[in-house]
Amino acid sequence: MKNIFIKLHKAVLAYIAWGWPTILLNVALDKWAGDSPALWRAFLCDAAFAWFVCAPIAPITLLLDRSRRERAMARLCGLREGDERERAVTGEAARSSLLLALSLQTVLLVMSMTTLRLFWNPLTTKAGERGLITVGFSFDPARHLDPFGTAPAGAHKLTALGASLTPAPDQIEFGGFLVSPSAFPLLALMILIELAAFKAFSGRRYAGAGE
């Protein structure tokens, strides 16, 4: 039974790798030729649907199968570990890449909590009320903990030195978060996973080196 599942798993992965042209062909025929009752068109549509159903298996396999994941990423990145020198170069490159990714994700995480708003009223004659740029930092659980972005955006009120700006029909006002708040949980999860994985893998390597 186990061998059957292994062969079925390999067949599904092969279909995911080589069956994607069926989707392009099906979309092209639907766009240029329209719907058709032909049997081969129904078979093509079913094949494209089957590809979408099987597609999540590929990332799940890469996530759970360490050997397959390392082979795929090594081939994608061109990693070579033939001797100690190449392993040292690979380790330094992996370390630099991890730090770069963590830095970028941290910056995006902060930007998802940073607001920038512009107020401009070209017709006003009052000093200090022609234009205003505000930069803020806020965390709204209803929006930042919603990965689908379904929470309604709250109203923002522009103030200058504690006094509200005078509204005008010709004023220009726009702005918001620099990065969508819905990206906050995903970025935070990625940072935590990368830190935990690095500590786990490096601790295992150090433990093996000390034996």
Mean pLDDT, range 75-96, rounded to an integer:
78
Q: What is the pLDDT of residues 103-123, one digit of tens each?
A: 999 999 999 999 988 877 777
Instruction: Extract the tokens encoding 98.
Output: 């991890």
**In this predicted structure, what is the pLDDT of residue 153?**
65
The pTM score is 0.66
Give the CA angle between residues 112, 113, 117 to the nearest 5°: 95
Mean pLDDT, range 89-93, rounded to an integer:
82
Quote the mean pLDDT of the chain.
81
Q: What is the pLDDT of residues 32-47, one digit of tens each?
A: 887 778 888 899 999 9
115 and 137 in contact (C-beta within 8 Å)?
yes
Domain ranges of the chain: 1-78, 81-154+166-211
Q: Where are the beta strands (DSSP E) in the chain?
A: 114-120, 131-137, 159-160, 163-164, 172-177
**In this predicted structure, what is the pLDDT of residue 159?**
41
Which residues lie below 8 Å from residue 194, measured CB to CB, with a gap of 6+? 98, 101, 102, 105
Q: What is the pLDDT of residues 125-184, one digit of tens each?
A: 666 666 778 888 888 888 888 888 777 765 544 443 334 455 555 667 778 899 999 999
